[in-house]
Amino acid sequence: MERATNCGGWRSPTARSARGRGFTLIELLVVVAIIALLVSILLPSLKRARAQAKMVASTANLKGIATSSLTFATEDKRDMSIPIHRLMGLVPGAVGEYEYGGKSGIGEPISGNDEVSSKWGTQEGRGPATRGLNPIVYKGGFTNYTFLPGAENENWISDTKLDLGIFRAPSDTGYVGHHYSAWRDSGLTSYDHYGNSYSASTAWIGFSGGDCRLLSNSSFLKPVTRVPNPANTLYFLENCGRFAYRKNYGADGCQTLNGGPVGTDVESVIKGWHGRPWFFATSFVDGHAAMTNIQGHIQPQPRLSSYPSGGSYENWNCVIFRGKGWQRDTLPAAPVETPISCGASGTVVNPVQ
């Protein structure tokens, strides 16, 4: 015998409303507030995690570039680990910091606003096929389109759109303080402007008189076997930090960037691409990579007996750059004469950068 429910199956209004009603407005507001609180707690952690991931990726890129450079050195008859671009010494401004690898840049067009006429691009002889490290990283390399623009410049344009991940920093947001004004004014990322997010570490010096040749005082244009402290010597770094060593540069009486007066210090803060001023992803000649604090450099003492012969203290104090855990110069090793004549690079001063 079935049991009747509320007099023959009839349900009370109270029972129906208790089962059928949804959340009240107050309850919804409480739930929304809880979700918003959780988001506010988790969002900074997620942002930090993403930033950390980008920093790790950039460091990994630089380690890969360093490893590829050391591989290049084993195949180079001069034991050079950073490829020397074919335009160096022939075209003013072909210095070599970016042309070792990467894509075709679009910054600094030499014909109006035509990006394919960029001084860093294929049309001007700096395309990906001419950048010596590319065939090591990307087997087979790239087709040389310097004299093959294609229909409506399609080949030159395609070289500007290459996604060469190892040469592109994930956090590359462009200029962040104290660099060449051309990059600042372009508003481009370093990858798009120069074709590369990472610059090679260079330090040159030229002594006047006679057959003046630029001398290498860094890992650039010097056999890798003649770098005495590879674990401490800078190799490549994020381009935003290329001039961080100049924080106290003017105090040495050295030439300043963009033609500023001698004796002028770098006052602008270089924020970097990872939210910490003066910290940049770098790699070293021994192949390891790390985040490095580069904020100015240690002022060298005028002990001329400790410097290689040639030049004066005024020459040497402008190319001796080092700090805690890093150095750009390769002292006490003697500088190596390069095939580049003083002035050929388009940065004619004594000493030169």
Let me know if residue 281 belongs to a domain.
yes
Report how far residue 194's alpha carbon sits from residue 102's, in angstroms, rounded to the nearest whole number. Answer: 8
Let me know if residue 301 belongs to a domain.
yes
- pLDDT over threshold 80, residue 192: yes
Let me know if residue 190 belongs to a domain.
yes
- Mean pLDDT for 316-336 is 85
Let me know if residue 106 belongs to a domain.
yes
- pLDDT over threshold 50, residue 348: no
Q: Number of folded domains in the chain?
A: 1
Let me know if residue 155 belongs to a domain.
yes
Check residue 325 and give left, alpha or beta (phi > 0: left; psi -120 to 50: alpha): left
Let me know if residue 16 belongs to a domain.
no
What are the pLDDT digits (tens) for 139-159? 889 999 999 999 999 999 999
The domain of 206 spans: 46-341
What are the pLDDT digits (tens) for 273-290? 998 999 999 999 999 999
pLDDT on residue 26: 83
**pTM of the full predicted structure?**
0.82
- pLDDT over threshold 60, residue 14: no
Of 35-44, 259-268, 330-339, the poorest mean pLDDT is in: 259-268
Let me know if residue 21 belongs to a domain.
no
Report how far residue 323's alpha carbon sits from residue 294's, in angstroms, rounded to the nearest whole number. Answer: 7
Let me know if residue 1 belongs to a domain.
no
- Mean pLDDT for 205-214 is 63
- Mean pLDDT for 50-68 is 95
Report how far residue 7's alpha carbon sits from residue 347's, in angstroms, rounded to the nearest whole number. Answer: 102
